[in-house]
Structure 1
Amino acid sequence: MLRALELAGRGPAHGPNPRVGCVLLDRRGTALGEGWHAGAGSPHAEVAALEAARRAGADVRGATAVVTLEPCNHTGRTGPCTEALLAAGVTTVVHAVDDPDPDAAGGADRLREAGVDVVGGLRRGEGEELLRVWLHAVRSGRPWVTLKLAATLDGRVAAADGTSRWITSAASRRHAHAHRALVDAIAVGTGTALADDPALTVRPEEGEPPAHQPLRVVVGRRDVPEGARLREPGGALVQARSHDVGEVLAVLAERRVRHLLVEGGPTLAAAFLRAGAVDELHAYVAPVLLGAGPTAVADLGIASIGGASRWRTVETVRLDDDVLVVARPSGPRAGTTTSSTTSSPSTEET
């Protein structure tokens, strides 16, 4: 199963489909074939593993399939994995995570009905972590939201005169661009869009830009100017003309966005936090002091320390002199959806 999880990680983190890995074993525990899902329209992990075994001349009758996600039981752009496993003569299936997608679920029951021995829940914790973005989107009906902040030690995102380039290091900016390549959409408020004229594209230091460019989402009612960089080549531009976080997320869910990266500015960050809609926080902290200037997050309506929004650190990364803190909510999420997502001070990451 650990190998299947490793294989699953080779699939794209972005897109509507889950990352899945599969290993086929004979009765002695020898690997016959392995595979992973490479993205929408490509063979599912189970089918890829069966094809690999066939290419190797292996007999998969009586084999065990070890899969990170319960085999699907529906026909989409590819056929049901359950039927492929049954046709191949696989007699045992072990999976880590039950499939919560109502359109694809039921694979375990279908296999059991056909006489296959099915065991679920092996390494469930690791499987849930690998699939956390996709699982959250399917279970909740809204995208997983990562909020990115880039600030000084005293929490400023710009100096008093509005200048902000560059607070964080080149290493932090490279890391942020690499993370953009993993998401389905990037959001900024209209204030940031108008003040900074960001491109919101994935731009490697060397080589051609990747084929995948996230949707570029502007939240607010004001128009994006015709000559804006957001209208240049890159991901499609989506104008979410609402001040309601729930409405914005619903629009993106309809477009099958599983992972939304919120990048700016302070007002939009506060709106998502007040709505309790942030699932993970990426805070790039630079050893810089300004003493004045806009803060990374606008007013959250918290009056006392007892009402502070508490988070738990899940990872820290050293980026030259900067530090990235990755955190997730440690308790109940604050607030209800706010209607204050309009103009915001400019931010340094574009």
Structure 2
Amino acid sequence: MRRALSLAAHGPAYGPNPRVGCVLLDSDGRTVAEGFHRGAGTPHAEAAALADARSRDIDLRGTTAVVTLEPCAHHGRTGPCADALIEAGIAVVHVAVPDPNPLATGGADRLQAAGIEVTTGLLADEGEDLLRPWLHAIRTGRPYVTLKLATSLDGRVAAADGTSRWITGPQARAHAHTIRAQVDAIAVGSGTALIDDPSLTARTADGGLFEHQPLRVVLGRRTVPDDARLRGPGGPLLHLPERDLDVVLRELGEREVRHVLVEGGPTLATALLAADAVDELHAYIAPVLLGAGATAVGDLGVTTIGEAARFATQDVTRLGDDVLLIARRAGLARASTDQPDAGRTGVDRPVPQQPSSSSTSTNQSHQKEI
């Protein structure tokens, strides 16, 4: 299974389909074939492994398949993997993670009905970690939201005169572009689109464009100018004037956006955090002190430390003089009962200050919705 997970990681992190790896073993436990999914429209991992075996005239009757995700049972651009395994004469199938996609699930039942032994849950934690954004999107109907912040040590994103290039150094900026090349979409608020005129492209170290360019999303009612860099080379542009974050995230989910990277500005970051809609934080922190200027996040209505929005640190990496801290949602931390529905927070205006009685129950309700 660890080999299958390693193979799966070679597949693209972006796109509507999951990263999946498959290893086929003979009766002595030796690998006879393997494969992984290379992206939408290409053979699934099981089909790739079966093709690998056929190319070397290997008889697969009585062999074992080790797969990171439950084989699918539906007809899409390719046939059901469960049927392919049955036709090949596979005797045993070990699965890390069951498939939560209602359109594809049922493969394990189909295999068992054909007399194949199936076990599920082998290295399930590692499988869940590999598939985190995809699983989240399928289970909730909205994309996995990663919020990127690039700040000074004192949490500023710009100096008092509005200048912000560059707070972080070249290594941090280059790393941020590799992350852009791994997500389905990049989102900014309409205010940031107008003020900063970003291109929101994923660029290589030499200034070229990565092969994959994410969808560029602008949230808010202000129009993107005809001559904006967002209309230049790069991914498609999607302008969503809707202010309700719940509607926005579901719209992206319906467009098969599995992972969205939010790059600003402070208004959108604050709205998402207030709505408990951020799943992961990427905080690029530079050893710079500004003392004044715009902050990365606005007022969240937090009046006491017990109400703080908390995340769990996953990794800390040095990038030149800067540091990247990656943290994931640690659970809802708000602690009282009557905050208005954060899902109605506007995405192109400052978030109003909330009363000190910030609500855990309301935020939990919103999280269930999105």
TM normalised by structure 2 equals 0.91
Amino acid at match of 1:147: L
State the shift of 1:207 in Å.
7.2
The CA distance in 1 between the partners of 2:90 and 2:331, in whole Å, is 43
Task: List alignment gaps of at least 5 residues for structure 1.
Answer: 345-350
Provide the C-alpha distance between the structure 1 equivalents of 2:309 and 2:139, rounded to a whole number of angstroms: 24
**What is the deviation of 1:322?**
0.5
Superposed, which structure 2 residues align to 1:1-350 within 5 Å?
Answer: 1-206=1-206, 208-332=208-332, 336-342=342-348
Q: d(CA) in 2 for partners of 1:207 and 1:36?
A: 30
Secondary structure of 1:316's match? strand
Q: Which amino acid aligns with 1:217?
A: V
SS of residue paired to 1:337: helix
Matched-pair contact (CA < 8 Å) for 1:189–1:343: no
Please give the alpha-carbon distance, in whole angstroms, between the structure 2 residues aligned to 1:103 and 1:243. Answer: 30
Coordinate RMSD, CA, aligned: 1.1
- Please say if residues 19 and 131 of structure 2, whose CA atoms lie closer than 8 Å, have aligned partners that are also in contact: yes
Which residue identity lines up with residue 36 of structure 2 in the other structure? W
Deviation, 1:299, is 1.1
- Structure 2: which amino acid aligns with 1:342? D
Counterpart of 2:260, as a letter, is: L
Task: For 2:25 and 2:204, locate their aligned partners in 1 and report how far apart those are by CA, in whole Å.
Answer: 40
Please state how far the C-alpha of 1:339 moved relative to its aligned partner. Answer: 2.2
The 3 A distance-change label for structure 1 pair 273 and 79 is same
- Alpha-carbon distance, 1:211 to partner: 2.4
Superimposed CA distance per residue, residues 252-295 of structure 1 (whole angstroms, 9 cap, x where no aligned partner): 11211000000000010010111111000000000000000010
Asked whether the equivalents of residues 308 and 333 of structure 2 are also in contact (C-alpha less than 8 Å), the reply is: no
CA drift of 1:210 comes to 2.3
Question: Is the contact made by 1:271 and 1:338 (CA closer than 8 Å) also made in structure 2?
Answer: no
SS in 1 for 2:110: helix
Question: Contact 2:306/2:333 (CA < 8 Å) preserved in 1?
Answer: no
Q: Counterpart of 2:43 in structure 1: which amino acid?
A: P
- Identical counterparts, % of pairs: 62
Cα drift, residue 343 of structure 1: 5.1
Q: Is the 8 A contact 2:64 2:91 kept in 1?
A: yes
Match for 1:341: what amino acid?
V
Report the 3-state secondary structure (helix = DSSP H, G, I; strand = E; otherwise coil) of the residue aligned with 1:249.
helix
Matched residue pairs, number? 344
Cα pair 1:22 1:67 within 8 Å, conserved: yes
Q: Deviations over 1:36-83 (max 9, x none)?
A: 000011000001001111112221111100000000000000000011
* Alpha-carbon spacing, 1:245–1:134, altered in 2? closer, same or farther (3 Å): same
Which structure has the higher relative contact order (CA within 8 Å, separation 6+)? 1
8 Å Cα contact 2:307-2:333 kept in structure 1: no
Is 1:146–1:260's contact at 8 Å kept on the other side of the alignment?
Answer: yes
Moved more, 181-190 or 207-216: 207-216
TM-score (normalizing by structure 1): 0.96
What SS class does the counterpart of residue 146 from structure 1 fall into?
strand
Deviation at 1:305, TM superposition (A): 1.3
